Chains A and B, each alone.
Chain A
């Protein structure tokens, strides 16, 4: 097993390296998502095949991002892993409850232009805040 060394920031070097790798994957996934979305929306592609390739590429990078996150978790120590898992549980709970409330609001016509991305944004925001709160709690 790769030996984990502690650096000045308190993160293990393996963990820090995996954090950067995970952020790169996330950035690549976000960019391909935006590009694929805009290309389809504004019909930049000349054929449906290119759109399909863009979607497959985005999904492939998404899978890479998931694997990178799992690796990122593996190289964390147990407290850091607990903070991440607590944040994931909160984010998932908020997304579940939030999506049903959102759905009810759409049914009640309080919201007219519903977007899946709103729930994803809520989930991401909740996850990031939960990780920060977790780190502050165990500081």
Chain B
């Protein structure tokens, strides 16, 4: 699954640590999400969508293999 986290974060001029603090997760988790190494749980995906004021499907792009 791809995501636009890095772009959205950059638009707001936030560091990974800033976003991590807002999401109440570690910076490692934000980094893993941005790199597509880890897909978030549904509650975390909703939280991300809420923080960026965007629908989930505008942030996460599901890809079939």
Binding site for B on A (CB under 8 A): 3-6, 8, 10-12, 15, 77-80, 82, 135, 137-139
Contact = CB atoms under 8 A, between A and B. Distances in A.
Contact of B40 (A5, A78, A137): A78
Contacts of A12: 24-26
B3 interface: no
B17 A6 contact: yes
A3 B32 contact: no
Interface string B3-17: 000000000000001
A15 B24 CA distance: 11
B20 interface: yes
B2 interface: no
Contacts of B21: 5-6
